Each structure stands twice: as C-alpha cells, then as structure tokens.
Amino acid sequence: MTVPANRTPLTQRPEWQALATHARAQVGTTLRQRFAADPRRGERMVAEGAGWYLDYSKQRIDDDTLRLLLALADACGVGERIGAMFAGAHVNATEDRPALHVALRAPAGTRIVADGADVVAGVQDVLARMEAFARDVREGRWTGATGRRVRHVVNIGIGGSDLGPAMAARALRHYVDGPRPRFVSNVDPAALREALDGLDPAETLFIVCSKTFTTQETLVNAAAARAWCVAALGEAAVARHFVAVSTNEEGVRAFGIEPAHMFGFWDWVGGRYSMDSAIGLSTMLAVGPARFRELLDGFHAMDAHFRSAPPEANLPVLMALLAIWNNDFLGAQTVAVLPYAQDLARFPAYLQQLAMESNGKRVTASGERVDVQTCPVYWGEPGTNGQHSFYQLLHQGTRLVACDFIGFCQPLPAPGEDADDVRRRHDLLMANLFAQGEALAFGRDAVQLRAQGTPEALVAHKTCPGDRPSITLLADRLTPHSLGALVALYEHAVFVQGTIWGIDSFDQWGVELGKQLARATEAELAAPGVDGDAAAGHDSSTRTLIRRYRQRRGG
C-alpha cells in the first residue's frame, strides 16, 4: 500500500491560522452590510463553466476571505493533486490505485495512462459494446425468451450501482424513449415486490450490477428476481432476461448469464463515481446511445473546466473552498441541497453518498487523526416542497445550514402541454428559488416588521435573522449534458475538499464493519430454536433484540 508522507496538521498551517483569524474578525458583519458596501457584489462573485453559472455572492465572505481560501488550496497542493488524478497517479492511497472516473468520459483518442497502460481504449470498447446491445434491445432485435420486445428494465444494485442510475433515470425521464427503467437496491422484500409490480416477465430485462458479483444485497435480490422469471418462463429464459455489469465472469456464468452479456469496469472506478460507466447501462437503454454520449460530454466539459480554469474562476474549486469555510470556520455542520426541479428529486440522495462516503473520514491518508471537522451532512428535497417542510429551520432555527440552490432557466414541457402555461408555472418555481435565497441572506428585522404594522407581541416571532449562506447554480435546461456537468462539478468539489483535509476521498473502509457483523448475525437469526447461545457473542442489547426477533418473527 502506498500512502503519502505525514504532513503538517492542518490547523498548524499558517494559511489555516490566517483564515481562523480572519473568521473571528468577520463576526458581526452581515450579508446586508456586505451588499450595501458593494452594489456590484452580485455581479462580481460569480463564475461560469461547462454550461453552469455559479452565484456565490450570498456566502459570508469578502475578497480577503477568497484570497485566503485560495492560498490554503495552493498550500495544500490542490493544483498538483488535480494533475495527479488526471495523470493516473495512485491518488487512492489506501487501496494503492488511481481514481480515473475522468477516463470514463474522455473522448475517443484521448490518452490517459494508468500503471503503464492507456485506459481510454478499454473504456471505448465497453461503450461500443453497450451501444450495440442498447440498439439491439431498443430496436427489437434482442427479445425475451418468448420473442416479445423488452419494455421494462430492472436495475439490481446497491450504493453506487443504484443511486447514480436511479437519479439519472428520474432526471432524464423527459428523454426516455426506450425500455422504462426501474430500480431495486434494498434487500427488504418489499423493494423487489414494488419494482416488479405490474411487469410482465416476458417483456422484462434485468441488469445485475455488482463489480465482484458477491454483493450480498444485490445477489439476494437477483436470485429472487431470477426465481420470479423462471417461475413464469422456465430456466432457459434466464439467458434472455438477465445481463450483468461485473468483472466476475465465473460468478456471472454460474448465475446463468453468458459472459458475452457481461459488461465490465475497472478497479479504478469507485462505485459512487460509476454512473457513467457500464453501471449506466439502464440509462443508455432508456434514453439511447446518443443521449448517453451527451451525458458523457457534459461530464467531460466539466472535467476540462476543472483541469484548466484558474482557481479563482474554477467552479469545483470555489464550491469546495466555500464548503470548507462554512464547515470549518462558520460551524455549518450540514448542507441542504435544494434543486428547484422535480426531476432532480433523487439528486440529494445521490450526493449524500458521493460526499459522505468520500469525505466522511476521521484520519488522513497517512493514518493521522484529522484535527478539523471533515465532511458535513448532506440532505435535501426539491423546492417548493421543502419550503412547506424544513425551511422554517433554515430561516429561524438555531443551527446554521449552508444551502445549495439548483435551478434551470427553461422548463421542459411534455408533449401535449400548453407551453405558455408551463412557462408561467416555471416562472413561479424560479421566483421561489430566488426569493428563498434572498430571504435566507437578508432576513427581516424588527424595524421592518414594526414599519409594516406588525403587533409588538409578534415581532420577535416574525423576525428572520438572515445571514444564512447559500450558493445558486443555474443552467439553461436540464439535459443529459447539463446533468453530466452537474455531477462532475460535485465530484470534483468533493475531491478538492478531501485534498485540503488530507484524507483519501476514494476509499470507504467504514462501511465494512456493519457488513461483516450482519453476515454473522444472519446465520444466528436463521439458526433453529428460540433460545440458546446463538447470540452469545453480542452485547446484551443486541442479544436481547435477536432473542425477541426470533421469538416473534413467526414462521
């Protein structure tokens, strides 16, 4: 295992200490005061790249804050780490391998070398196989066992093998003109039951997504789906109704899937960075190869911006630095992700894994205990629903929550809809986005309320303190290209944060312990009898819970 040498603890760096001093000096300066002192602030504190416009003027910063943050990034080697990642260096230190998700969307002919081999040619080969298969399915040349066309695709995976494709399917549903995708990840039997509800086995294709083909939840669900298919169509039907995204040819063959119908990917692709790999096969089947290429083009456009734009105009770098400022210097422990687009309903859940599995770490890449707070908690819901749910806390609660607003300038009318009516409703949606950012920043004070005639007894209750930081991200329209660029934007922002914190953003050792304990506990739950010492190795709470479950589960 290759790990970086120990580095100076972050809080001992002069750049960090300068920011801490600066943060103390900023106490009491409000966003209202900042905007009053600089009438062009909202025009200056913006950046643009890959079709996305970032307004960060409603952050609690000034020009000196930005200068100090950029100095911190430079001192932590952000520029060098960006170059190293794109060059195929082993930036995933604890697993001693590259993190080359950028190769998944590199144009054909690009050369990216990892461990002495150009990886882009292999990526393009898998893409070509995916496209050929997608065309066969979409055009009716690949049929089910009875000769009927595939009309539904069920993606079986978990984590990165589910969250990315499921988010993309929802986000791009206006572009779906092929088999309708459904997704199952949870091992709860209700999840598969819901995914199969109303489907005809003769018209259903399953994609089993597991790199190792050993992921417990995925294989349990795949076996149950297989039994459902076999019960209706017979054992021979498995080969026509199941394909795999995996690297385990032996396991795939044992399941009944021909290796020719297995689509691979690589160890240098982490699960949460894999939606633009073969894990996106369900997306390609739904929207078609051309649209999927547009998605990849969007990813690549943001990659190019990230790699070439100067730090002060670089969207991922700016977002990462602002997130560190809010988290480590202002004490904002959570980030609310607020897409004003119903089609991005699953984006906050996707971002939870991307951010918190990547940067939810307590030691540096060299194994030293970090001396600052790392990843904040990400959560959120689409606007305007959230306004009638948790925005009360955002405006008047005691916790500081940083907010990411995401919106689009143009709606996507469905066929048969009145375009003018859709535009009017979209105007209302966006009016709410802009108003909420403004209200969080500037609030409403007692002077304003009294001038409006508010009874004195209600002034305190109606006061909104403001000074709540937010960014706003705008693109023209939600398209495959803009979605790819948006995902890449957050991917790279997460990487920059991890670089500054000194952690490995590409491993996830913390998820292993629970899995290991669950495997042992499952055997104990299945053991015959009710009492005895089957759960003797556990603490008293877990023993009691296991005993009660076995007594009352029935069967």
222, 255 Cβ separation under 8 angstroms: yes
Which among 357, 381, 491, 524 is annotated as catalytic? Answer: 357
DSSP 32-50: HHHHHH-TTHHHHSEEEET
Residue 300 annotated as catalytic: no
**Nearest to 351, CA basis, from 333, 367, 337:** 337
Which among 250, 388, 456, 512 is annotated as catalytic? Answer: 388
Residues 6+ apart with CB under 8 A from 383: 338, 339, 340, 405, 429, 432, 433, 436
Task: Please work out, in degrees rounded to the nearest 5, the angle formed at the alpha carbon of residue 152 by the alpha carbons of 151 and 158.
Answer: 160
HSE at residue 39, side-chain half, CA atoms within 13 A, is: 0
Residue 388 annotated as catalytic: yes
Quote the radius of gyration of the chain (alpha carbons, Å): 25
**Nearest to 136, CA basis, from 149, 153, 155, 122:** 149
Complete edge-to-edge strand list for the sheet that includes strand 46-49:
46-49, 52-55, 470-475, 401-408, 334-339, 377-379
Residue 515 annotated as catalytic: yes
Task: Please work out, in degrees rounded to the nearest 5, the angle formed at the alpha carbon of residue 381 by the alpha carbons of 378 and 385.
Answer: 150
Tally Cβ neighbours within 10 Å of residue 26: 16
Which among 80, 139, 235, 515 is annotated as catalytic? Answer: 515
In one-letter notation, the amino acid at residue 19 is L
| H or E stretch covering 127 | helix 120-138
Specify the residue for token string 């103390």: 24
375, 359 Cβ separation under 8 angstroms: yes
| Surface-to-core class of residue 392, CB atoms within 10 Å of its CB (0-12 exposed, 13-18 middle, 19+ buried) | exposed
384, 435 Cβ separation under 8 angstroms: no
Phi, psi of 439 (to 5 degrees): -65, -40
Kindly report each contact of residues 60-66 with a partner whose C-beta sits within 8 Å and lies 24 or more positions away, as own/partner.
Answer: 60/26, 60/29, 60/31, 60/325, 60/326, 60/330, 60/467, 60/469, 61/322, 61/325, 62/26, 62/29, 62/34, 64/22, 65/19, 65/22, 65/26, 65/325, 66/312, 66/321
In one-letter notation, the amino acid at residue 188 is D
**Nearest to 137, CA basis, from 174, 96, 178:** 178
CA distance 442 to 440: 6
CA distance 100 to 123: 11
Specify the residue for token string 């096969």: 281
Strand stretches in 364-464, DSSP E? 377-379, 401-408
Positions marked active-site: 357, 388, 515
